[in-house]
Structure 1
Amino acid sequence: AAERFRIAPRCRGRVGLRGLGRRLPGGQMLLNLTFGIDLIAAVREFTLTDGDFAATDLAMELLYLAEANAAVTRELRGLNMRLEGARIAAVEEAMTDPLTGLRNRRAADLFLERMCSAAAPFGLLHLDLDYFKAVNDTLGHAAGDFVLEAVGRVLRDQVRAEDCAARVGGDEFIVVLPGRTDPQMLQAIANRIIRRLSEPMEFEGSPCQVSASVGIVRSNDFAAPDAAQVLAAADRALYAAKHAGRSQAILLGCNAG
């Protein structure tokens, strides 16, 4: 009966052989050798061609199958990457305000809920544009969109990558600032945003002047803050800023909730 065997290379990583052997009279042996699972490595290492194999050898068919399998695997990998890219893009689009490029209300709510659930310290600015209605009424909605786009650029310029700046209403915005609870720092950020938004703008040659009122709250002014509680307090702070003369920021004091 034929005996199965495998010839292992002395150097690790080199091509091995496997096959069948049959003992013959006179101490001789008839061998039928194949590269087995090392076929692809052997073809690559020794630059073998179809002529190096017997006509009855299925080596080339196996190589074609291996290449076809590799091609299918590459295509599937590429398809998966494209699908994942499309999924990420869809999620991003669902969380983005298309006009300003900021986060939308849904994204802001999720971000704020995560901050509250983690009991992480943060500051929150609630902005409402002053005189925006006058721009819409006198220059039209195209001018209003122009102003909102400018607000988006200002807020993106004023926040860090880890912050969340979002448009949550027609001309309302919130900015969540993880780790920033110092009153003077929050006041300075709000004042800087107000100054930037108050700079003169022109739409098709016509001036469109706006500003902003800002309500400020801090997570550490709540015993156990939740998103709804924080937003309600920020809304009260914004209301106070509006009634104090607009174009200013007011920080709601301790025990905001």
Structure 2
Amino acid sequence: MKKIIDKNFYKNQINEYNFSAQKHLLLNLTVFLFLYCLLLNILEFFFTGEYHKKTISLLICLSILLILWLVHKIYSEIVLKYINVIAYLNILIILSGIQIYYHQQNYQASYIVYTCIMLSTGISVIGNTFKYASIIAPILIIDVIVNVVEFDGGMTYDLLIYVLENLIILLFCIIINRYFTLLKYKVFKKETEIIELCNTDPLTGLLNRRAAERYVQEYSKVDGLHCMIILDLDNFKLLNDILGHQKGDECLITVSKKIKETFRSTDCISRLGGDEFMIFMPQILNEECAIDKCEDLLKKLQIKYNYNNQEILISASIGITFCKKSCMNLYDKLYSEADSAMYMSKKNGKNCFLRYVSSGS
């Protein structure tokens, strides 16, 4: 039975992760900004006896973050519906809030530096946090040096304030970049899962027919000796009828493992459906390589089951064919030939393999 994959289910999972990540992002930025505001005012009061002149703009930024977080908390269904738009809107508002604060600097150089950092944070996703920080940090350090050199006095205190301000900008950039990186990773992971589910037989973990066909077709223009093996189990229907489908599934899993043990990791092994399997061996040295594998596999696939003193012997009928030249419809050609040889081996008494021989040979 073909497994139906609901892509919307995975899309919803990604959106839910996005939503959760946004809430954590806003909460983390709120906490860091609050602590920074508190620390800045403590230092200002310690050095000058007054509160910091930028406290109001900091509180505005803090309020924006809290409002955004509350919107996510209260209107979760609406946010989920427009999650991607709101994600970028959040980042824009956060960066705009910092810009309000940072624009109060007396020197244009700081504003230009901040604009560059804002753009780099918005368009880049760097998985390694250390690498990202090592790119942004030198720019902020240069900004500190340039501004402090231009000060007339109070260099020690101003240096401390600028270092703290640029550290908070760096921290915000790292958190935002980390958020996008994790989100991209999650999306990639889910997309990979979907691809694997589309290409994989859920019972055995082998490739399914569609994936196998695509794999074989990749060699349609590749010269070399290619081999296809079609395998059909003997007495499998009897096993299913007597011992049930669960035992039949166990048998298919066992057969899959034995096939994988026999062939190369580079060979394409797939379950075409039911008890029919296909092995594609690309660019082998000679025909004997594949023939030896078939002989070895026939021995491994003689599996006995007992039920009420009745013995059920599972074996395999195998068809094998080769192709030495490139062929546009490689899969169809090889499958037709190997399948024909497999049916001949069934008529020949089962538990054997036959090579396809064309009628003109």
Determine the C-alpha separation between the residues in 2 that align with 1:181 and 1:21.
Answer: 72
Determine the C-alpha separation between the residues in 2 that align with 1:210 and 1:128.
Answer: 10
Is 1:235 aligned to residue 318 of structure 2?
A: no
Query: 1:78 corresponds to which residue?
Result: 182
Change (3 A) 1:143 1:85: same
1:163 Cα deviation (Å)?
Answer: 0.7
Which consecutive residues of structure 1, in runs of 5 or more, have no partner in the other structure?
A: 6-12, 23-29, 35-51
Change (3 A) 1:161 1:255: farther
Is 1:184 aligned to residue 288 of structure 2?
A: yes
Is 1:160 aligned to residue 264 of structure 2?
A: yes
Paired residue secondary structure (1:212): strand
Query: Which has more radius of gyration?
Result: 1
Q: In 1, are the aligned partners of 2:206 and 2:270 still within 8 Å (CA)?
A: yes
Is 1:18 aligned to residue 146 of structure 2?
A: yes
Determine the C-alpha separation between the residues in 2 that align with 1:157 and 1:256.
Answer: 36
- Of 76-85 and 244-253, more deviation after overlay is shown by 76-85
Q: In 1, are the aligned partners of 2:319 and 2:354 still within 8 Å (CA)?
A: yes
Q: TM-score, normalised by structure 2?
A: 0.54
Paired residue secondary structure (2:304): coil
**Residue type of the alignment partner of 2:204:** T
Q: In 1, are the aligned partners of 2:321 and 2:338 still within 8 Å (CA)?
A: yes
Alignment of 1:1-257 (within 5 A): 17-19=145-147, 31=152, 52-54=156-158, 57-180=161-284, 182-201=286-305, 208-220=312-324, 226-253=330-357
Count of residues in correspondence between the two structures: 222
Paired residue secondary structure (1:112): helix
Paired residue secondary structure (1:99): coil
1:86 Cα deviation (Å)?
Answer: 1.9
Paired residue secondary structure (2:164): helix
Q: In 2, are the aligned partners of 1:194 and 1:247 still within 8 Å (CA)?
A: yes
1:180 Cα deviation (Å)?
Answer: 2.1
Paired residue secondary structure (1:80): helix
Q: In 2, are the aligned partners of 1:125 and 1:216 still within 8 Å (CA)?
A: yes
Give the alignment's Cα RMSD to 1 decimal.
3.3
- Of 225-234 and 154-163, more deviation after overlay is shown by 225-234
Q: Which has the higher helix share?
A: 2
Paired residue secondary structure (1:149): helix
Q: In 2, are the aligned partners of 1:102 and 1:156 still within 8 Å (CA)?
A: no
1:143 Cα deviation (Å)?
Answer: 1.4
Determine the C-alpha separation between the residues in 2 that align with 1:141 and 1:200.
Answer: 16
Change (3 A) 1:93 1:20: closer
Determine the C-alpha separation between the residues in 2 that align with 1:184 and 1:56.
Answer: 77
Q: TM-score, normalised by structure 1?
A: 0.74
1:196 Cα deviation (Å)?
Answer: 0.6
Paired residue secondary structure (2:215): helix
Determine the C-alpha separation between the residues in 2 that align with 1:117 and 1:146.
Answer: 38
Q: In 2, are the aligned partners of 1:130 and 1:213 still within 8 Å (CA)?
A: yes
Q: In 2, are the aligned partners of 1:217 and 1:256 still within 8 Å (CA)?
A: no
